[in-house]
């Protein structure tokens, strides 16, 4: 829920804050995991079933596919590259 790619106590805290809130009946509520009827026991069940799971992810921090006007490598060529974390 909080974009740290792990289901943990931070996500539980968000769910608790939004639990049965009348503001979460409409779509777009962060803790409404099933997208139905606001934040309730169904959403808690989804959270519990995924507890401590880590969502693997990559971040592409830099990408250069056409760099003929930039720094040349040891062979005098401008190599394409991508940086992944």
Sequence spans of domains, the chain: 9-49
User: Dihedral of the CA atoms 16, 29, 26, 15 (nearest 10)?
Assistant: -10
Would you say residue 11 has pLDDT above 90?
yes
Q: Which residue has the higher pLDDT, 61 or 20?
A: 20
CB 39 within 8 A of CB 15: yes
Average pLDDT over residues 24-47: 90
Q: How far apart are the first and last CA of the chain?
A: 21
Predicted confidence (pLDDT) per residue in 42-62, tens digit = 999 999 999 999 988 887 777
Would you say residue 66 has pLDDT above 70?
no
Average pLDDT over residues 74-83: 72
Which has the minimum average pLDDT: 18-27, 40-49, 64-73? 64-73
């Amino acid at each position: 829920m909080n974009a740290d790619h792990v289901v943990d106590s931070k996500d539980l805290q968000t769910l608790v804050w939004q639990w049965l809130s009348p503001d979460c009946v409409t779509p777009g509520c962060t803790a409404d995991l099933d997208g139905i009827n606001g934040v309730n026991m169904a959403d808690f069940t989804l959270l519990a079933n995924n507890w401590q799971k880590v969502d693997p992810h990559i971040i592409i921090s830099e990408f250069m596919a056409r760099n003929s006007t930039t720094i040349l490598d040891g062979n005098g060529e401008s190599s394409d590259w991508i940086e992944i974390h």
